[in-house]
Amino acid sequence: MDFTMPEKTKVILEMTQEFLEKEVYPLEPHFVGKKFRDMWPEIKRCRAMVKKMELWGPQIPKELGGMGLSLVDHALMTEVLGSSPLAHLIFGCQAPDAGNIEILEKYATPEQREEYLVPLANGDIRSCFSMCEPELAGSNPTELATTAIRDGDQWVVNGHKWFSSSADGAKFAIVMAVTDPDAPVYLRASMIIVPTETPGFNLIRNISVMGHAGDDYASHGEIMYQNCRVPAENLLGPQGQGFVIAQERLGPGRIHHCMRWIGICNRSFDMMCKRVTERKVGGGKPLARKQIIQEWIAECRAEIHAARLMVLHAAWKIENEGQHAAREEVSMIKFFVAPIMLKVVDRAIQAHGALGVSDDTILSFFYRQERAARIYDGPDEVHKVVLSRRVLRGYDE
Ligand SMILES: Cc1cc2nc3c(=O)[nH]c(=O)nc-3n(C[C@H](O)[C@H](O)[C@H](O)COP(=O)(O)OP(=O)(O)OC[C@H]3O[C@@H](n4cnc5c(N)ncnc54)[C@H](O)[C@@H]3O)c2cc1C
């Protein structure tokens, strides 16, 4: 097995890291606890530089102005970008747009490409993905209540969605709605593009999460779709294929999330190592001399390494054998990496003492923001149930 990194990938990662240190990390103090909308002039300035360096859109195909990297190379770049909560947006590979770009790329009609995909890939507009509903279990989306009923040459969408991330300021939503209520469970829903300016698209609020409602890109919207009429041609992909498309969106999406979390681990770990070597406790000796801290360092180092290799392997498997073949690996990384990330961030905070919970470092932001990692894109428990079921199938008589 060859773990050598190609020279070209190495250069890309070095350029990315250098740019983050020079341009992106310094923006973080202006972002934590402030209005996100006010960040756009800086984000646009950085985006222009990223485009000039040809580092825009690592996962976006070249013909759409991106780098067109392989999934493994994109995973490696995502690891570097994960070290800052602003980086993915600045490099054009932020959720939920990245997933929406992927499904538009695969399913959009020529008109949908022109109207939605091209400006989205270019970073001119934003989007959201509207699947989960407050009244029904998001971990089992077969029970959706939102409907889209065909009326002449229009779809009429009605339903209540929440946690549609980044809906505030988005140009359009990709909505998962029941179009075929009498069909078998997995063929009932479809994806429909709903421009947010459509009458009946009502963003009720940005949901307060861990004390922050956020705004603009950094928010999670609750939306009422009330007799929201869109043209019939806004159906994305074949009717009744909503679940298939959602699954396609989630496979690479989980690689992106997990590698972003490894990036958070790396940054938090680095901060912890710096802090424990600098901070003197008792007799002028650094914290790093304490055995309990050394144990944290060793454990975190090994856990980050294991998690990283698992994610890269899952990315490699998707790339070489397809999403279907990599289902177990994708489930494994989703529930394995998130708790490791949370543990590393927690230990880094602990090592920083009061400074760790203050907003003077990025650690408190990671702690608040990333608890959700164990819930979205399938809660840990669901992935564990799915994985164990698959494993045990091999033992069934
Ligand atoms: C920060 C954040 C961003 C999000 N962004 C989006 C978005 O952009 N678009 C969107 O549509 N949705 C989004 N979501 C919603 C997310 O997909 C759902 O929260 C997730 O699918 C879980 O659904 P639920 O919250 O309804 O929990 P439920 O389905 O009610 O589950 C609650 C808990 O029950 C347990 N559980 C559930 N099923 C099982 C099982 N089979 N076996 C054992 N235990 C189980 C788990 O512990 C789970 O956490 C986001 C959520 C968060 C927190």
User: Domain spanning 243-393 has what CATH number?
Assistant: 1.20.140.10
For residue 140, the ligand 1 atom closest to its alpha carbon is: 29
pLDDT in tens, 280-337: 998 899 999 999 999 999 999 999 999 999 999 999 999 999 988 999 999 999 999 9
pLDDT in tens, 10-56: 999 999 999 999 999 999 987 777 799 999 999 999 999 999 999 99
Is the pLDDT confidence value at 127 over 90? yes
Mean pLDDT of 132-137: 94
**Minimum CA distance residue for ligand 1 atom 51:** 376
CA dist 220 and 225 (Å) reads 16
Share of the chain above pLDDT 70, in %: 100
Task: Report DSSP letters for 136-204, one per residue.
Answer: S-TTSGGG---EEEEETTEEEEEEEEEEEET-TT-SEEEEEEES-TTS-GGGSEEEEEEETTSTTEEEE
CA 54 – ligand 1 centroid, Å: 36
- Which residues lie below 8 Å from residue 342, measured CB to CB, with a gap of 6+? 367, 370, 371, 373, 374
In the chain, where the domains are located: 7-104, 127-240, 243-393
- Fold annotation for 127-240: Butyryl-CoA Dehydrogenase, subunit A; domain 2 (2.40.110)
Burial class (CB in 10 A: 0-12, 13-18, 19+), 64: middle
CA 130 – ligand 1 centroid, Å: 13
Residue 320, pLDDT score: 95
CA 375 – ligand 1 centroid, Å: 5
- In Å, what is the CA distance from 344 to each residue of 190, 272, 362? 39, 9, 13
Residue 30, pLDDT score: 79
Mean pLDDT of 213-231: 97
Is the pLDDT confidence value at 117 over 90? yes
- Which residues lie below 8 Å from residue 121, measured CB to CB, with a gap of 6+? 57, 60, 64, 65, 66, 92, 101
Is the pLDDT confidence value at 237 over 80? yes
For residue 128, the ligand 1 atom closest to its alpha carbon is: 8
**Minimum CA distance residue for ligand 1 atom 28:** 137
Residue 397, pLDDT score: 58
Residues having CB closer than 6 A to ligand 1 are 96, 129-132, 137-139, 163-165, 220, 372, 375-376, 379, 381-382, 385
CA 18 – ligand 1 centroid, Å: 36
Residue 252, pLDDT score: 82
pLDDT in tens, 244-277: 999 888 778 899 999 999 999 999 999 999 999 9
| Helices 242-278 and 71-81, axial angle in degrees (round to 10) | 40
Mean pLDDT of 99-124: 97
Is the pLDDT confidence value at 396 over 80? no
For a mutational test of ligand 1's pocket, the pick from 94, 142, 143, 163, i.e. the residue with the most ligand atoms closer than 8 A to its C-beta, is 163
For residue 166, the ligand 1 atom closest to its alpha carbon is: 8
Residue 143, pLDDT score: 86
CA 163 – ligand 1 centroid, Å: 10
Residue 107, pLDDT score: 97
Q: Which CATH superfamily is domain 7-104 in?
A: Acyl-CoA dehydrogenase/oxidase, N-terminal domain (1.10.540.10)
Confidence of residue 387 (pLDDT cuts 50, 70, 90): very high
pLDDT in tens, 356-375: 999 999 999 999 999 999 99
Strand blocks (E) in the chain: 127-130, 147-151, 154-165, 172-178, 189-195, 201-206, 214-215, 218-231, 235-236
Is the pLDDT confidence value at 144 over 90? yes
Q: Which residues pair with 149 in a beta bridge?
A: 156
Residue 247, pLDDT score: 86
